[in-house]
Copies of this chain bind each other. A is one copy, B any other.
Amino acid sequence: MPVVSDCINMLDSETKAVETPEDHAEELRLWLRLLTCTTLIEGEVRGRLRQRFDVTLPRFDLMAQLDKAPDGMTLSDVSKRMMVSNGNVTGLVERLVESGHLDRRTSETDRRVQVIRLTKLGRAEFRRMAAEHETWIADLFADLTPKDVRELMRLLAKTKASAQKSAARRRP
């Protein structure tokens, strides 16, 4: 399948034909484009959250996780879901408890575990922000057709699976 573009590349990259140690320029470009898209959208969302609600993106993301878990989550759960380090969550939670958005208590059954949940205030504020946030996202993706969206979902699922597999190879 990639025959044509491979050949082109072999020719124009330096005409050294056979012994190329493999050409991964396409994947590299794909990765850069993926990163660019994400950075672009993330920056836009970050800016709008700050402007409209004076809230940071990490705070919003954390509240989003908790909004889906009415019974609360442990810090580890949050850290896994958000794909950030444990220490990161500790600090984030500290600040959100301080500002009255989160409630934090030690588990009855396992005193190592901290369970956090949204307070009434936290939930109300989050819902308000989430509603507007959803319209921003819709607007940012507005030029994609429903078919585009479906196709992207499919390809990104495949990408995620591929990356997870690769990551697992290195850390068995």
Contact = CB atoms under 8 A, between A and B. Distances in A.
Interface of A: 1-2, 5-6, 8-9, 22, 24, 26-31, 33-44, 48, 83, 134-149, 151-153, 155-167, 169-170
Contact of A31 (B26, B41, B159): B41
A163 B138 contact: no
16 contacts: A6-B146, A24-B135, A24-B137, A24-B138, A27-B138, A30-B141, A33-B160, A34-B38, A37-B160, A37-B163, A38-B38, A40-B167, A44-B166, A44-B170, A152-B156, A155-B155
A81 to B, nearest CB: 10
Given A44-B167, A83-B40, A134-B28, A162 B146 contact: no
Nearest to A38: B38
Contacts of A134: 24, 27-28
Given A158-B143, A162-B142, A83 B31 contact: no
A167 B44 CA distance: 7
A30 to B, nearest CB: 5
Nearest to A9: B146
Contacts of A169: 139
